[in-house]
Chains A and B, each alone.
Chain A
Amino acid sequence: QTVVTQEPSFSVSPGGTVTLTCGLSSGSVSTSSYPGWYRQTPGQAPRTLIYKTNTRSSGVPDRFSGSILGNKAALTITGAQADDECDYYCILYMGSGIWMFGGGTKLTVL
């Protein structure tokens, strides 16, 4: 069964830029996968950052951007801040009404 892959962890320096990726164990991610990105702090519900590859959800600052890089979806955070330290999840549309989340990336800002 195809799974959605993400880096388990990543670190970035304050003020730096980081790119997280979202791929498929078999095949390539395209805009037809409608990639989305979410962030979640401990004990809180997730919040949507990006949907349909590169559209920012309401109220999301332009430090967050989405794209397709090679055969993966990507989330780029520029000017990383301390409160960007949290978990990031991607989602892909697998077809036939099925959506699937990646395993999540724990981002550390230090």
Chain B
Amino acid sequence: EVQLVESGGGLVQPGGSLRLSCAASGFTFSSYWMAWVRQAPGKGLQWVANIKHDGNEIYYVDSVKGRYTISRDNAKNSQYLQMSSLRAEDTAVYYCVTGHYGDLHWGQGTLVTVSS
């Protein structure tokens, strides 16, 4: 069974930084794309970033380019999201996601709150 467990969320001040982690199990991690999806309170889903199985292709939504960095460690079956220059509008539940062609498996999410 695919399991994705996020950690690292919390309260951070505007302009601050935070690093999210996702521990994966139940599948061959090194063979799958990984991604982060977020959901602001009361809002819809937003694809944030994704990384190819070997880390050689990475994509970001425009609103986080230059501020967020997605990475992975296939030896540790983990992916990460380094977030900097955080803004109030980055407040959201961040989900770790994997899958093929939209058949997505989801973690339970970790809440990031950007507020002074």
Distance A8 CA – B54 CA, assembled complex (angstroms) = 38
Q: Please report which residues of chain B, range 86-115, place their CB below 8 angstroms from some CB of chain A when the two chains form the complex.
A: 95, 99, 101-109
Contact B102 A101 (CB under 8 A): no
Contact B106 A46 (CB under 8 A): yes
Distance A89 CA – B106 CA, assembled complex (angstroms) = 14
Q: Mostly helix, strand, loop or mixed at chain B's interface?
A: strand
User: How many A-B Cβ pairs are below 8 Å?
Assistant: 63
Distance A87 CA – B99 CA, assembled complex (angstroms) = 21
Size of A's binding interface in residues, CB under 8 A? 26
Contact B102 A34 (CB under 8 A): yes
Distance A35 CA – B45 CA, assembled complex (angstroms) = 15
Q: Which residues of B contact A91 (CB under 8 A)?
A: 47, 102
User: Contact residues of B with A, CB < 8 Å?
Assistant: 35, 37, 44-47, 50, 57, 59, 61, 95, 99, 101-109
- 8 A-B pairs with CB atoms under 8 Å apart are A34-B101, A36-B102, A45-B107, A47-B106, A52-B102, A98-B47, A99-B47, A100-B47
